[in-house]
Structure 1
Amino acid sequence: MIRRTLIAAAFAAAALPAIAQDAPWPNRPITIMGGFPNGAGTDIYARRLAEPLSRALGVPVVVDNRSGAGGNIASEYVSKQPADGYLFMFGTAGTHAINAALYRRLPFNVTRDFTPVVLLGDVPNVMLVNPEKRPNLQTCQDVLAAARARPQAITYASTGNGASTHLAGAQFATAANLQLLHVPYRGQPGAIASLLAGDTDVFFNQTGPSMGPIQQGQVRALAVLSRERLPALPNVPTVAEACGLPPMDTSTWYGLLAPANLPAPILQRMNAEVNRIISTPEFRTWLIENQAITPPAAPNSPEQFRETLAADIARWAEVVRVSGATVD
């Protein structure tokens, strides 16, 4: 009798891992990893998304940022993790399109090693100056005149070599036939701090993290680097309007990705839940009016995101080539 009991207990113990593995997804906390510091546009969006997503999935959704190397540190980490539905990456056109063109060697493949899950929106850039530290730069034409009078005397901050904020400035300089001096920082906090301190003259920043300083009067928005004015900044002209340059669009995207080969049921569930959340009137209003982000058009499938990624890799490779931007 004792022997039978022991045998039964042994079989029950051996079956436990199988039972745990067969438990419905999700049954433990989910992590969304970002590649940029706290306070970056990706961090702001990820934390806003995490709360309703946690309610929808019934488990905690936490945001973990591993910044560095233009997002490559986070990308490499995520690319090497199991595709079990408990780790996702808050990716950008920078991490998964621009970096593919800028870096000759990456320890991961931006297409092969990831599963595109859902597109989260298009993010334009806005040209910022500090009205207190640079009272002579009241308009985009003032910036053009100052830069033409003294080549490389006008500096522009960025969130890092190869970041979209770097390439936006490089595109602007190429379009205007200017020589601007690029000053890279490690992430959003350092770049915006340099502008506020007067250490740099201009910052071609993403709209999301720019809205607070703009609304508080800490910075002045001279132009948006998009083809049309933005609903969140209706009084800020486009580059074509303010600078007399050809229409320019430096918009990038935010998107949720997972390690390669994410199981189809998890992929479909996550795509559906995120689409539902970002399509609600409350979330759309926050995106459009608070962050100046354009929500993706519905339906927003993984296949469409994969097509966007492929097209953007080709697009940014050309931008990098024309601008001559490099990473140190």
Structure 2
Amino acid sequence: MLRRTALALAALAPLALPAAAQEAPWPNRPITIMGGFPNGSGVDIYARKLAEPLSRSLGVPVVVDNRTGAGGNIASEYVARARPDGYTFLLATAGTHAINATLYKSLPFDPLRDVTHIAILGDVPNVLLVNPQHSPGLRTCRDLVAAAKARPGALAYASTGNGASTHLSAVQFAAAAGIDVLHVPYRGQGPAMVSLLGGETAFFFNQSGPSIGPVQQGQLRALGVTTRARLAPLPDVPTIEEACGLPGFESSTWYGLVAPPGLPAPIQARMTQEVARIIAEPDFVAWLTDSQGITPPADPGPASFRRIHEADVARWAEIVRRSGAQVD
């Protein structure tokens, strides 16, 4: 009897081991980077560029899954509520995790508390675009301001959505230049670009990544960039400060990689290490600066990322309040 009991206990012993002891070391299955914006958006372009080398360095597939809608909040909430097991991440933006904190009356997640910061991925400017076919007279930023002052409230501009950075850049610009212009929000970068190309709107502050190609190909004309320095891929395009004589004008956002709250520290550290190494590689830096107009971070680490994130929540809150934008 005692022998049978001992054998039974021995058979059950492996089942009593903690789950962590039975699992293979992280990572041992595919990792997903969620995005809140459509295919072809700046977020999607960056996520896919990062996923390839990250997959090689971690030894598992890294896939991109875009769940669009509500200004990126659908994907953000999904990741905020996901298991913190190291298999779900989000390519967050200043829009989803700073602007939306004030723009939306209520959010189903806390933009600051419901994340584990992994790495900030770069500073993302906007480019002031016009269509040379439909607006041949708008050759400079000062031409645009003069046209807006000549017909207050008549000149329309596109954005990727109410309260998006592409909207708030225009709000900042209009306030600094003293002009009254008409906001026409669209559902994402693609429809907004179509409106500009079709002549439905006169200008668009679009993110640098999707803007550079159409400008270099002559489809669109860039009148200025929202950074304090010119962009490497558009060296002949002045800053808004230069082009319109608006001292100190700057309006840019950031991309960052986050995970659900409660991610184990060893996984956070490993992911930060791999991402920081990849985005510092010369080829990746060249891609960021020369093809996307994105400034790589000086310090991509979680502590630096959190400081920037906290400061941006406060900074954008003032701009959102000034714009009057509000989403239920």
Query: Normalization by structure 1: what TM-score?
Result: 0.94
- Counterpart in the other structure of 2:53: 52
Query: Residue 31 of structure 1 contacts residue 62 of structure 1 at CA under 8 Å; is this kept in 2?
Result: yes
Q: Secondary structure at the residue paired with 2:246?
A: coil
- Give the 5 Å matches for 1:91-106: 91-106=92-107
How far the C-alpha of 1:80 sits from its partner, in A, is: 0.7
- Counterpart in the other structure of 1:326: 326
How far the C-alpha of 1:322 sits from its partner, in A, is: 2.6
Q: Secondary structure at the residue paired with 2:206?
A: strand
Rounded Cα–Cα distance in structure 1 between residues aligned with 2:108 and 2:327: 16
AA paired with 2:314? A
Rounded Cα–Cα distance in structure 2 between residues aligned with 1:152 and 1:192: 21
- Counterpart in the other structure of 1:310: 310
Rounded Cα–Cα distance in structure 2 between residues aligned with 1:36 and 1:28: 25
How far the C-alpha of 1:12 sits from its partner, in A, is: 4.8
- Counterpart in the other structure of 2:135: 134
- Counterpart in the other structure of 1:186: 187
Rounded Cα–Cα distance in structure 2 between residues aligned with 1:18 and 1:259: 19
AA paired with 2:263? L
AA paired with 2:315? R
CA separation of 1:273 and 1:265: change in aligned 2, threshold 3 A? same
Rounded Cα–Cα distance in structure 1 between residues aligned with 2:55 and 2:117: 20
Query: Residue 170 of structure 1 contacts residue 325 of structure 1 at CA under 8 Å; is this kept in 2?
Result: no
Rounded Cα–Cα distance in structure 1 between residues aligned with 2:119 and 2:88: 14
Rounded Cα–Cα distance in structure 2 between residues aligned with 1:209 and 1:251: 15
AA paired with 2:274? E
Query: Residue 174 of structure 1 contacts residue 323 of structure 1 at CA under 8 Å; is this kept in 2?
Result: no
The percent of aligned pairs where both chains have the same amino acid is 64
- What per-residue deviation string (whole Å, max 9, x for no partner) do you get for residues 85-109 of structure 1? 0000000000000000111211110
How far the C-alpha of 1:314 sits from its partner, in A, is: 0.7
AA paired with 2:195? S
Rounded Cα–Cα distance in structure 1 between residues aligned with 2:19 and 2:245: 65
Query: Residue 239 of structure 1 contacts residue 247 of structure 1 at CA under 8 Å; is this kept in 2?
Result: no
How far the C-alpha of 1:294 sits from its partner, in A, is: 0.1
Q: Secondary structure at the residue paired with 1:124?
A: strand
Rounded Cα–Cα distance in structure 2 between residues aligned with 1:251 and 1:326: 20
- Give the 5 Å matches for 1:1-328: 11-12=13-14, 17=19, 19-21=21-23, 23-298=24-299, 300-327=300-327
Moved over 6 A (4+): 1-7
Query: Residue 167 of structure 1 contacts residue 325 of structure 1 at CA under 8 Å; is this kept in 2?
Result: no
Query: Residue 175 of structure 1 contacts residue 246 of structure 1 at CA under 8 Å; is this kept in 2?
Result: no
CA RMSD of aligned residues (A): 1.8
- What per-residue deviation string (whole Å, max 9, x for no partner) do you get for residues 6-59 of structure 1? 8766555665955543x2100000000011111000000000000000000000
Query: Residue 37 of structure 2 contacts residue 188 of structure 2 at CA under 8 Å; is this kept in 1?
Result: yes
AA paired with 1:106? L
Rounded Cα–Cα distance in structure 2 between residues aligned with 1:268 and 1:158: 37
Q: How many residues align?
A: 326
Rounded Cα–Cα distance in structure 2 between residues aligned with 1:180 and 1:137: 15
How far the C-alpha of 1:240 sits from its partner, in A, is: 1.8
Rounded Cα–Cα distance in structure 2 between residues aligned with 1:148 and 1:327: 29
Runs of 5+ consecutive residues of structure 1 not aligned to the other structure: none
How far the C-alpha of 1:307 sits from its partner, in A, is: 0.6
